[in-house]
């Protein structure tokens, strides 16, 4: 893991997935046979793990730019517009000449959700979309949704090694593997400073059956491993030490869970921004958790986001 002296929030590059989420809440279990069903609420929000991370980071006071693909359509403009308003540099968000913007339709219950995904540009990133100049004036790189970016699989070792060479810190949240193969991560971990899977992802990637064994095995490859555990909080695993945050009134409990979309991505942004400000691991877990629960209380990943600069530790 990189030394504290090399960490910087002035220039976070976020690479990954951008889409639009339509979130329906209430009686959302569909019934076929021409049934028209009335739901409680509908919200359209910018989604994609990279988009949510970038937006929350900018709201926490970081200088952020994004790289990825959107469609040359109304949803693509919505994404650029919303991220731009949050203060994110969207010049690296390229409108695709052919594909339409990806869409996630979330049927959201307080304790669970089903998502219908139209991929569109979600996995449109290609090796030629990255070049060395994107890494100029960058202090940290966050790679989101590794498993969605199929065409980029062979590329990341090179780019993450370049980051290490240039003293750029790195973090990664793979999210779920839709193919359920869970491969390719081990070779990247030595170049990753902070790895942020959720519990199921950590077990699947490490091929372990309990969180402690998974966290230790993944941390042995090099990174600080932060495993998100839903209502049970989160545990960080270093080489020889672990830290656990258990949700309670002093670190915050969600007043109500409206929609879980983006909780993990907002957690990532809170954790990484505190970590980059050298806040220490317990305080980084706490900011991650606070950003996550703010997002649980609103539909979508961006509405509930905290707008509050993180103080730099002198
Ligand atoms: N019901 C809850 N009560 C309290 N805290 C919660 C609850 N659900 C989530 N959290 C907080 O949000 C964090 C991230 O949630 P989760 O573990 O669901 O991440 P994730 O699976 O990566 O999410 P995503 O679906 O966005 O990928 C948790 O580590 C915890 O801090
Ligand atoms: Mg996640």
Average pLDDT over residues 48-64: 97
- The confidence score (pLDDT) of residue 1 equals 63
Ligand nearest to the CA of 291: 1
Q: Among 211, 228, 253, which residue has the most ligand 1 atoms within 8 Å of its CB, making it the best to mutate?
A: 228
- The confidence score (pLDDT) of residue 3 equals 62
Q: Which residue has the tokens 């170049």?
A: 191
CA angle (298, 299, 301) in 5-degree steps: 90
The number of the ligand 1 atom at minimal distance from the alpha carbon of 292 is: 12
DSSP state of 101: P
Which of 100-104, 110-114, 195-199 shows the lowest mean pLDDT across its residues? 110-114
The number of the ligand 1 atom at minimal distance from the alpha carbon of 260 is: 25
Q: Residue 158 CA to chain centroid, in angstroms?
A: 21
Q: Is the CB of 198 under 6 A from ligand 1?
A: yes
Instruction: Name beta bridge partners: 103.
Output: 20, 118
- The confidence score (pLDDT) of residue 260 equals 85
Residue 5 pLDDT exceeds 70? no
- The confidence score (pLDDT) of residue 94 equals 93
Token pair for 290: 């606070």
Residue 183 pLDDT exceeds 60? yes
- The confidence score (pLDDT) of residue 71 equals 98
Question: Helix, strand, or coil here: 252?
Answer: coil
Residue 154, Cβ density class (10 Å: 0-12 exposed, 13-18 middle, ≥19 buried): exposed
Measuring from atom 9 of ligand 1, which residue has the nearest CA? Answer: 230
| Residue whose C-alpha is closest to residue 126's, from 152, 108, 104, 100 | 152
- The confidence score (pLDDT) of residue 257 equals 86
- The confidence score (pLDDT) of residue 56 equals 98
Sign of CA dihedral 180, 264, 284, 269: positive
Average pLDDT over residues 221-250: 97
Q: How many Å apart are CA 168 and CA 64, to the nearest integer?
A: 14
The Cβ of residue 173 has, within 10 Å, a number of other Cβ atoms equal to: 27
Question: Helix, strand, or coil here: 163?
Answer: helix
Residue 314 pLDDT exceeds 60? no
Q: How many Å apart are CA 305 and CA 298, to the nearest integer?
A: 9
Average pLDDT over residues 207-218: 98
Q: Is the CB of 257 under 6 A from ligand 1?
A: yes
The number of the ligand 1 atom at minimal distance from the alpha carbon of 245 is: 31
- pLDDT class of 124 with cuts at 50, 70, 90: very high
- The confidence score (pLDDT) of residue 2 equals 60
Average pLDDT over residues 95-99: 97
Which tops the pLDDT comparison, 94 or 260?
94
What percent of the chain lies above the pLDDT cut of 70? 98
- pLDDT class of 113 with cuts at 50, 70, 90: confident
- pLDDT class of 100 with cuts at 50, 70, 90: very high
What percent of the chain lies above the pLDDT cut of 90? 89
| Residue whose C-alpha is closest to residue 159's, from 133, 121, 137, 182 | 133
- pLDDT class of 277 with cuts at 50, 70, 90: very high
Mean pLDDT of all residues belonging to the chain? 94
Average pLDDT over residues 296-308: 90
Measuring from atom 3 of ligand 1, which residue has the nearest CA? Answer: 231
- pLDDT class of 63 with cuts at 50, 70, 90: very high
Q: How many Å apart are CA 50 and CA 245, to the nearest integer?
A: 24
Residue 51 pLDDT exceeds 90? yes
């Amino acid at each position: 893991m990189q030394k504290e002296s090399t960490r910087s929030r002035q220039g976070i590059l976020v690479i990954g997935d951008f889409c639009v989420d339509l979130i329906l809440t209430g009686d959302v279990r569909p019934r076929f046979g021409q049934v028209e069903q009335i739901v409680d609420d509908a919200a359209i929000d910018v989604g994609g793990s990279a988009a949510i991370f970038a937006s929350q980071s900018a709201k926490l006071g970081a200088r952020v730019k994004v790289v990825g693909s959107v469609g040359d359509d109304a949803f693509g403009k919505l994404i650029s517009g919303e991220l731009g308003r949050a203060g994110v540099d969207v010049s690296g968000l390229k409108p695709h000449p052919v594909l339409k913007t990806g869409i996630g339709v979330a049927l959201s219950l307080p304790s669970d959700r089903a998502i219908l995904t139209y991929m569109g540009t979600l996995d449109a990133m290609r090796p030629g979309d990255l070049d060395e100049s994107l890494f100029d004036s960058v202090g940290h790189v966050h790679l989101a949704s590794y498993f969605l970016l199929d065409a980029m699989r062979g590329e990341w070792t090179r780019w993450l090694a370049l980051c290490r060479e240039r003293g750029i810190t790195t973090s990664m949240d793979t999210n779920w593997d839709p193919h359920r193969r869970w491969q390719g991560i081990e070779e990247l971990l030595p170049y990753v400073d902070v790895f942020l899977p959720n519990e199921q992802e950590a077990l699947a990637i490490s091929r372990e059956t309990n969180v402690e064994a998974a966290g230790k095995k993944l941390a042995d490859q090099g990174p600080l491993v932060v495993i998100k555990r839903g209502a049970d909080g989160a545990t960080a695993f270093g080489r020889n030490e672990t830290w656990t945050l258990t949700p309670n009134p002093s670190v915050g409990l969600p007043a109500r869970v409206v929609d879980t979309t983006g909780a993990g991505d907002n957690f990532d942004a809170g954790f990484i921004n505190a970590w980059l400000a050298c806040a220490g691991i317990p305080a980084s877990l706490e900011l991650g958790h606070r950003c996550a629960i703010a997002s649980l209380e609103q539909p979508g990943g961006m509405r509930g986001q905290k707008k509050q600069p993180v103080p730099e530790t002198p």
